[in-house]
């Protein structure tokens, strides 16, 4: 855990913390700088739904491989973390096809070594229909940037899978999303370097606060009321 008030930011930032930062900088600071974590029904449901995904391992998927719990890192961006899944599929244009999961174990990693293979990160979320919000997309894009650095290949996009709809949506890694992702990384390190708890989100974004597990600790309504006085 990074200690608030320190002069130096951490060497590597967890990729998942970018999701918290884009959702709410105050939540990011509570969770990462201060190590605070509260559990509500949303957090608990997400953990239960992730149990199968988090099992790890490598499975065959037509027409390639599906690797679960893949460790990713970027020295350039100073990021590290786990991808729920990375699919390695045959090249097929702009958006890779939906791979079909099968039960047999892969005999080898030839698909991963295929120079024409597409590399696609997949992020599993409790809700996040239609590709998720920007926070989910930034987290996914950060995984793609790490994969590009580690493999030397362009990663065109990834999928956000919704447990609510049991479908996934293609998220292209556009220049704008890549820029927003790198800006989020820079902002995270700047906040940690400063070491000061950010204010709550504005009242116009209060719905985020109602859904946040840290609301009883953050007390956004009370803090906003004090700020108005």
* pLDDT at 164 (0 to 100): 86
Task: Give the model confidence (pLDDT) of 3-17 as tens digits.
Answer: 555 446 789 999 999
User: Residue 93 CB: number of other CB atoms within 10 A?
Assistant: 8
* pLDDT at 160 (0 to 100): 95
* pLDDT at 135 (0 to 100): 95
137: left (phi over 0), alpha (psi -120 to 50) or beta: alpha
* pLDDT at 67 (0 to 100): 92
CA distance 115 to 17: 32
Q: What is the DSSP string of the chain?
A: -PPTT-SS--SSEETHHHHHHHH-HHHHIIIIIS------HHHHHHHHHTTTGGG-EEEEEETEEEEEEEEEEETTTTEEEEEEEEEEEE--SSSPPPPEEEEEEPS--HHHH-TTEEEEEEEEESS-GGG--HHHHHHHHHHHHHHHHHHSS---EEEEEETTTTEEEEEE--HHHHHHHHHHHHHHHHHHHHT-PPPPPPGGGHHHHHH-TTHHHH-HHHHHHHHH-
Q: Which residue has the tokens 């990834």?
A: 158
With contact defined as beta carbons under 8 Å apart, do 168 and 145 qualify? no
Q: Which domains does the chain have, with CATH numbers?
A: 13-224 (3.90.320)
* pLDDT at 25 (0 to 100): 97
* pLDDT at 89 (0 to 100): 82
Report residues of the chain scoring pLDDT below 50: 6-7, 41-46, 48-50, 93-113
* pLDDT at 61 (0 to 100): 56
């Amino acid at each position: 855990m990074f200690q608030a008030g320190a002069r130096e930011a951490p060497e590597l930032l967890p990729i998942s913390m970018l999701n918290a930062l884009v959702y709410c900088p105050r939540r990011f600071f509570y969770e990462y700088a201060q190590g605070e974590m509260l559990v509500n029904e949303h957090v608990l449901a997400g953990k239960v739904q992730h149990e199968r995904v988090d099992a790890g391992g490598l499975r065959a998927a037509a027409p390639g491989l599906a690797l679960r719990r893949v460790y990713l890192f970027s020295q350039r961006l100073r990021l590290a973390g786990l991808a729920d899944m990375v699919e390695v599929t045959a090249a097929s244009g702009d958006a890779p096809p939906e791979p079909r999961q099968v039960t047999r174990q892969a005999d080898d990693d030839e698909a991963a070594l295929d120079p024409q293979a597409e590399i696609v990160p997949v992020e599993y979320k409790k809700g996040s229909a239609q590709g998720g919000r920007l926070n989910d997309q930034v987290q996914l894009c950060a995984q793609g940037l790490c994969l590009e650095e580690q493999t030397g290949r362009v990663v065109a996009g990834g999928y956000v899978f919704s447990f609510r709809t049991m479908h996934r949506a293609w998220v292209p890694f556009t220049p704008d999303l890549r820029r927003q992702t790198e800006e989020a990384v820079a902002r995270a390190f700047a906040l940690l370097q400063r070491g000061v708890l950010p204010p709550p989100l504005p009242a116009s974004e209060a719905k985020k606060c109602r859904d946040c597990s840290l609301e009883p600790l953050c007390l956004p309504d009370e803090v906003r009321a004090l700020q108005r006085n």
